[in-house]
Amino acid sequence: MSSAKYISEVCFDNRLNEDSYLNKLPVIRFLAKEKRLSFSSNVTFFVGENGTGKSTLLEAIAVAYGFNAEGGSKNFTFSTNATHSELCQHITLAKRGYAKDGFFLRAESMYNAATYIDQVRAAGSYGGVSLHHQSHGESFLAIVQNRFFGNGLYILDEPEAALSPMRLLTLLAEMDALVKQDSQFIIATHSPILMAFPGAEILGFSADGIRQIDYRDTEHYQVTKRFLDNPEKMLQYLLGENED
């Protein structure tokens, strides 16, 4: 099995404090047992229910690589609220190559990153318009389209929070072009649209640990498909309504 281009493995030292809240997360229990998590594709998705630790691990990988915890490149130095966990101090990243570019893009702190960009860089660097003068989704895509240069490592946390279904399709096309330019993506997502990326590795996070999972076996795909196949029946079940 081939390895991902830049980060091929995350190794855990199992030295968290006993009273750390992180020990309650399924992802930490998995890492404590297995000691490592390997990536076999240049596009890897972290998927699973809320609370399984996928965004916690994603953030730790980004910070351990050198990115700003609130988003941005290695050159972004702003900090509005230091809320990232200590996990970044307890993992080591196995690297196979040097990424010439990179960015940590998270929907929840997009406003803070946009403010920093407006303060230190010309608006023209991101499509000619201040990110604050664009919608959430427009500004998110503007960074991908104008700041992701290729030959890079790009870490995205739940991009679907900012993007409509049509914009998610645009993101897929941008990702494809960047992967063909020797880039690697690691993405935490709930979006079955994004998970459909050809050749992607999908890692399912659950109470039982982390395992590779086929796209059509993900709960995200199955629930979405069942709903779209028959929304009326699903709503009757959910809302407790009886058929006439």
What are the φ/ψ torsions at residue 126 (nearest 5 degrees)?
-125, 40
Say which residue, 111 or 233, is predicted with more confidence.
233
Q: 124 Cβ partners below 8 Å, 6+ apart?
A: none
Question: Is the predicted pLDDT of residue 132 greater than 70, yes or no?
Answer: no
Buried b (16+ CB within 10 A) or exposed e, 12-29: beeebeeeeebeebbbbb
* The one-letter amino acid at 13: D
d(CA 72, CA 66): 10
Q: Which domains does the chain have, with CATH numbers?
A: 7-213 (3.40.50)
Residue 76, token pair as written in the block: 């972004």
Query: What mean pLDDT is reported for the chain?
Result: 85
* The one-letter amino acid at 40: S
Question: Is the predicted pLDDT of residue 146 greater than 80, yes or no?
Answer: yes
pTM for the full predicted model: 0.86
98 exposed, middle or buried (CB, 10 Å; 0-12, 13-18, 19+)? Answer: exposed
Find which of 46-60, 72-86, 136-150 is predicted with most confidence, using mean pLDDT. Answer: 46-60
Nearest to 116 by CA among 101, 131, 127: 131
Say which residue, 117 or 174, is predicted with more confidence.
174
Question: Is the predicted pLDDT of residue 203 greater than 60, yes or no?
Answer: yes
Say which residue, 243 or 18, is predicted with more confidence.
18
Residue 104, token pair as written in the block: 């940590």
Handedness of CA 159, 165, 166, 170 (dihedral sign): positive
Interval 85-128: pLDDT, tens: 799 999 999 998 899 999 998 765 444 555 555 555 544 455 55
* The one-letter amino acid at 157: D
Q: 164 Cβ partners below 8 Å, 6+ apart?
A: 137
Residue 223, token pair as written in the block: 């629930």
Interval 15-55: pLDDT, tens: 999 899 999 999 999 999 999 999 999 999 999 999 899 99
User: For the chain, what percent of residues have pLDDT higher than 70?
Assistant: 80
